[in-house]
Amino acid sequence: MKHKYNKKLTGITLLLFLSLVFASFKTATIEKLMMNMQSQSLHKGKVVNVEAELFFDAYTGQLITRYIEPAGQIMVTNSKGELAIYDESENTVSFRQGAEYSTETNMIQFFLQGKTQDLGLEDFGFQLMSTEFEDNLVVTEWFPPASLYGLFNRIKLVHEDFLPIYVAYYDAQRNLAKKVYYSEYESLGDVFLPGLITEFNYVGNDSIISRMRFSDIETNYQAQSPWFDFQIPEDATPNQ
């Protein structure tokens, strides 16, 4: 039972972390996108490996995440923040809903929309505090809106060659809470997507290190798979 709980928790955490890479592409050149994702998390000497295939349809706003390791779990979410978690082995389904599950609210969407200048911070109400130039880097600091004072003191964003390479989040007590590095960018037409995302989350005197790598990226006509049409079986038993 413990293994099953960790399995679902890992899947939801990944969904929130990347939740995706996919957002609303209605004004972009990408209509469909599929890719492989490999994730590795390290905490207190324990390593958790996850591999999944991701299928995103821009017109419907639906993202399907098929887990390969651990196998047997499929997540379906959309732009409305509706999440369904299907367990193939038990033919059961769980439902959740919230803005955090929406395919339109994740930070990675701003890469795909070409909004790499601020990674969507202005959209969330952040204001530019300062801009500095260090060698070939552009360093900006952003002040949070009043609604987020309890979470952030500021966010530091670093660019190189017009692309974000590092983001630092400082909590309300001005302590460094999280660092995220973006690297190994891949060009998808006029869109640049990081192939590797490395995140450090600081919890007290400890830290959780996560690394997420994307590969086998296909778009539009090259993105062909029956998984785009996946539907949860009608006889699946809802979990209470």
Whole-angstrom Cα distance, residue 33 to residue 227?
12
Whether the bond between 70 and the residue before it is cis, its omega within 30 degrees of 0, is yes
Q: Is the pLDDT at 1 greater than 70, yes or no? A: no
pLDDT tens digit string along 45-60? Answer: 899 999 999 998 877 8
Question: Using a CB cutoff of 8 Å and minimum separation of 24, what contacts does 67-72 make?
Answer: 67/11, 70/7, 70/10
Nearest to 58 by CA among 186, 220, 232, 224: 220
pLDDT tens digit string along 229-239? Answer: 999 999 999 98
Tokens 């869109």 -> residue: 191
Q: Per-residue confidence at 107, pLDDT binned at 50, 70, 90?
A: low
Strands in the chain per DSSP E: 32-43, 46-57, 62-69, 73-77, 82-87, 92-97, 127-134, 137-143, 154-160, 163-170, 176-188, 191-203, 206-219, 237-238
pLDDT at 17: 44
Q: Is the pLDDT at 90 greater than 50, yes or no? A: yes
pLDDT at 21: 44
pLDDT at 143: 95
- Quick check: helix, strand or coil at residue 109? helix
Do the domain assignments include residue 240?
no
Mean pLDDT within 76-92? 90
Do the domain assignments include residue 63?
yes
Nearest to 75 by CA among 83, 32, 236: 83
Which structure tokens are listed for 55?
A: 């299928």
Whole-angstrom Cα distance, residue 103 to residue 77?
7
The pTM for the full model equals 0.78
Q: Per-residue confidence at 9, pLDDT binned at 50, 70, 90?
A: very low
Q: Per-residue confidence at 112, pLDDT binned at 50, 70, 90?
A: low
Mean pLDDT within 83-98? 92
What is the CATH classification number for the domain harbouring 62? 2.50.20.10
pLDDT at 26: 40
Number of domains present in the structure of the chain: 1
pLDDT at 18: 46
Residue 204 region by backbone torsions, left for phi larger than 0, else alpha for psi between -120 and 50, else beta: left
Q: Is the pLDDT at 81 greater than 60, yes or no? A: yes
Residue 45: give the domain boundaries. 2-235
pLDDT tens digit string along 148-201? Answer: 899 899 999 999 999 999 999 999 999 999 999 999 998 887 788 899 999 999
Q: Is the pLDDT at 3 greater than 50, yes or no? A: no
Mean pLDDT within 214-226? 91
Q: Is the pLDDT at 28 greater than 60, yes or no? A: no
Whole-angstrom Cα distance, residue 83 to residue 76?
6
Q: Per-residue confidence at 36, pLDDT binned at 50, 70, 90?
A: very high
